[in-house]
Copies of this chain bind each other. A is one copy, B any other.
Amino acid sequence: MNNYMPTGGIEWSQDWDPTTKLAIKVTRHLHAEKSPYQQIDFFESETYGTFFTLDGLMMVNEKDEFVYHEMITHVAMATNPNIKKVLIIGGGDGGTAREIGRYKTIEHIDMVEIDERVVRLCQQYLPVTAGHLDKDERIQLLFTDGLEFIKNTPDNTYDLILVDSTDPIGPGEGLFSREFYNNCYRALAEDGILINQHESPYYDFHVHGMKRAHLRLNELFPVVKVYQYHMPTYPSGHWLFGFASKKYDPLKDQNREWWESLNMTTRYYNSDIHRGAFMLPNFVMEKMK
């Protein structure tokens, strides 16, 4: 066990809080670029395969991206099989669009990513998440600000909105604002569902984002729940999504039979974890009161 970087190498690290960091030995720094929006880096590593960071924060790696992308997608789909029109805000790596695209019942996917360079670089370096983006004709790529896009979206446009954002700093900050959620609510159909990246209950910085997102959703939607999953390369590994909806409840309305009839191969999600993920520790529920 005690053979970390025995032969040298390059160390990548991310601060998880002001006194904690995760460090990963990388074999190659594949790409570094400053886009108009953020610093973008791609690395190659033994344990995680290829991974990329935005402003130094781990976004996606080949080892555990499936956890995040399955959990942002299948909970909503198994709750309402009639979802046809989907908006993804962010998610430039393509993983969320890949998972939602697995449903043949989906007719259209708008993917609104502010930073085209993220998409183009993921297409080059991370085919596992972005490889299908130019192959699925239902996907419309829109390189614009999600905040502006949703402001100009007509009422009742989408059955499902997936907010696949970064932390509430930098380009992701507006995606935690009241105005943004108001417009999402408006743009959703009468039985619409919104899933949002809901930060984490462990370190203070993420607890703040979690509380903020939860407060906003609670002001608007009749159904607001939070579900958790294990995402080891995000700070603390304890990560959350919000499920906000105008009509459907993810537990009462779970359509287990329909979802299982699809025979979809998944590595994290299943019909049981759909339920189990909503069963939260007391300290998480208390922090959201």
Is A267 a contact of B281 with CB atoms below 8 Å?
A: yes
Is A47 a contact of B276 with CB atoms below 8 Å?
A: no
Interface: A136 (CB within 8 A)? no
Q: How many chain A residues touch the partner (CB < 8 A)?
A: 52
Is A230 a contact of B232 with CB atoms below 8 Å?
A: no
When C-beta atoms are compared, the residue in chain B nearest to A229 turns out to be B281
Given contacts A20-B4, A47-B17, A203-B47, A281 and B237 within 8 Å (CB-CB): no
Is B281 a contact of A278 with CB atoms below 8 Å?
A: no
When C-beta atoms are compared, the residue in chain B nearest to A47 turns out to be B19
CB distance from A9 to the nearest CB of B (A): 8
Interface: A277 (CB within 8 A)? yes
- The complex places the Cα of A269 from the Cα of B268 at a distance, in Å, of 23
- The complex places the Cα of A47 from the Cα of B3 at a distance, in Å, of 26
Within 8 A of B (CB), among A234-275: 236-238, 266-270, 272-273, 275
Is A19 a contact of B1 with CB atoms below 8 Å?
A: no
Interface: A15 (CB within 8 A)? yes
- The complex places the Cα of A6 from the Cα of B18 at a distance, in Å, of 8
Mark interface residues in A274-289 (1 if CB within 8 Å of B CB, else 0): 0111111111000000
Is B268 a contact of A273 with CB atoms below 8 Å?
A: no
Contact of A18 among B3, B203, B269 (CB under 8 A): B3
CB distance from A121 to the nearest CB of B (A): 22
| 22 CB-based A-B contacts, threshold 8 Å | A1-B15, A1-B205, A2-B56, A4-B15, A4-B18, A4-B19, A4-B20, A19-B24, A19-B25, A20-B47, A22-B22, A22-B23, A47-B203, A66-B283, A230-B237, A232-B238, A236-B237, A267-B281, A268-B282, A272-B279, A276-B278, A276-B279
**A residues near B, CB below 8 A?**
1-6, 13, 15, 17-25, 45-47, 56-57, 64, 66-67, 167, 169, 202-203, 205, 228, 230, 232, 236-238, 266-270, 272-273, 275-283
Nearest 7 pairs between A and B by C-beta? Answer: A237-B237, A276-B279, A276-B276, A232-B236, A272-B279, A230-B238, A19-B25
